[in-house]
């Protein structure tokens, strides 16, 4: 029986539309994955941090959307640090060919960052 995996999507709030496209792609491919995130449009409180960590711990993997907004996305970078701390597999995908950052924050050390293609995404998901 196929197992339903839960995937956390970390993204800069400015790239919320890109997150929506990723969720739509996962739906269109009828993948056996559920996703979650904890997007906020306000300052991060201790309660948000606790909720975020709880959700991340309940996931099998994390996909981080990478764009020129990533370096200043404190929430996304926090989510990635928490995933690493609790041992959640993590992959980055570029939001687009045109919106790639010239460098990546330290949170991406040892994280594979791939082009956004369904074969790249499904390959990561199949290893969970």
Distance of CA 61 to the CA centre of its chain: 8
Give the C-alpha separation, 78 to 116, whole Å.
22
pLDDT tens for the chain, 128 residues long, are 345 678 899 999 899 899 888 887 777 666 666 666 666 555 578 888 888 899 899 999 999 999 999 999 999 999 999 999 999 999 999 998 888 898 899 999 999 999 998 899 889 988 88
Residues in the chain: 128
On whether the CB atoms of residues 16 and 24 are closer than 8 A, the answer is: no
CATH topology of domain 5-126: Rossmann fold (3.40.50)
Instruction: Report in angstroms the alpha-carbon separations of 99 from 15, 34, 55, 104, 128.
Output: 11, 27, 28, 13, 28
Whole-structure pTM value: 0.87
Domain boundaries, the chain: 5-126
For residue 82, the tally of other CB atoms under 10 A from its CB is 20
């Amino acid at each position: 029986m196929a197992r339903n995996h839960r995937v956390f999507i970390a993204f800069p709030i400015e790239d919320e539309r890109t997150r929506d496209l990723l969720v739509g792609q996962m739906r269109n491919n009828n993948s056996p994955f559920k996703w979650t995130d904890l997007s906020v449009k306000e300052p991060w409180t201790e309660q948000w941090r606790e909720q975020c960590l709880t959700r991340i711990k309940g996931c099998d993997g994390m996909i981080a959307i990478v764009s020129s907004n990533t370096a200043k996305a404190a929430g996304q970078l926090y989510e990635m640090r928490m995933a690493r701390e609790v041992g959640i597999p993590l992959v980055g995908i570029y939001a687009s060919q045109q919106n790639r950052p010239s460098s990546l924050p330290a949170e991406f050390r040892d994280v594979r960052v791939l082009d956004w293609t369904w074969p790249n995404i499904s390959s990561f998901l199949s290893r969970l």
